[in-house]
Amino acid sequence: MGEKNYTAKGAKYGFFFDQTLCTGCKACQIACIDKHDLPTGVRWRRVVEYSGGTWQISGDTFNPSVFTYYTSVSCNHCEDPICMKVCPTTAMSRRDDGTVYVDQDKCVGCRYCEWACPYSAPQYRKDTGRMSKCDLCYDYRSKGKEPACVAACPSRALDWGPIDELRSTYGNEDAIAPLPDPSVTKPHLVITAHRDAQRWDEGTGEIANTKEI
């Protein structure tokens, strides 16, 4: 995308993810945990392995139609965030740059946002009794640095920036299985789909690493 404008006035930020480049190494997930010193079990970014397909027999020949691809998922700082709608204390807040965060002074840990979010972005922290989530590394961005997950990806499968610029550069795809129906929250997310990727409502595969995520 060229040189980043970390303080673009009026911009609404989001993420870009290239499934064709992701190897499932989880460097982004680990970098996020390390940067935010998250406790065991709290993952603001998760790497989902999605697998499916069959082997077809034709005479003595076995023809595979199997597939596996990875999707790195975090909060998508949605245009219509359902987490903000269900929060009874207005702890789920949004900055002028479109990024959604948790106001810790208002949060009571009711977990309504966790249950409502189709991306499972809000995460409950037992050590604080409050919710937590990705804020697109607001502190890093304020200092002109990349979000930790983006900087850590060895294959450069992640990018970030004003969502309008991301869509202009990479397209408008955001409806790839195993992600949910994007019309629910209108995520600030753009995906370059894997060659075997399936639509969110046509997916025939299964999440292979449910215990990890």
pLDDT of the residue at 6: 63
List beta partners, residue 123. Answer: 132
Determine the Cα–Cα distance for residues 213 and 207; give it in Å rounded to an integer.
10
Architecture of domain 11-76+135-210: 2-Layer Sandwich (3.30)
Cis peptide before 178 (omega within 30 of 0): yes
- DSSP assignment, residue 19? T
- Put simply, whether the predicted model's pTM sits higher than 0.75 gets the answer yes
Q: What Å distances lie between residue 115 and 99, 124, 169, CA to CA?
A: 20, 11, 33
DSSP per-residue codes, 37-80: TPPTT--SSEEEEEEE--EEEETTEEEE--EEEEEEE-----SS
- Picking from 151, 200, 118, 144, the residue whose alpha carbon sits closest to that of residue 34 is 151
Residues in CB range of 53: below 8 A, 6 or more apart: 64, 65, 66, 67, 196, 204, 205
pLDDT (tens digit per residue) in 66-123:
999 999 999 999 999 999 999 999 999 999 999 999 999 999 999 999 999 999 999 9
Per-residue pLDDT in tens (0 to 9) along the chain, 213 residues:
445 666 566 789 999 999 999 999 999 999 999 999 999 999 999 999 999 988 777 777 877 889 999 999 999 999 999 999 999 999 999 999 999 999 999 999 999 999 999 999 999 999 999 999 999 999 999 999 999 999 999 999 999 999 999 999 999 999 999 999 999 999 999 999 999 999 999 999 999 999 888
The alpha helices in the chain, defined as continuous H runs, are 27-36, 82-86, 112-116, 138-142, 148-152, 163-170
128: left (phi over 0), alpha (psi -120 to 50) or beta: alpha
154 neighbors 27 (Cβ within 8 angstroms):
yes
Phi, psi of 82 (to 5 degrees): -70, -25
Q: Domain-by-domain residue ranges, the chain?
A: 11-76+135-210
Determine the Cα–Cα distance for residues 129 and 70; give it in Å rounded to an integer.
31
Give me the half-sphere count of Cα atoms (radius 13 Å) on the Cβ side of residue 75. Answer: 32
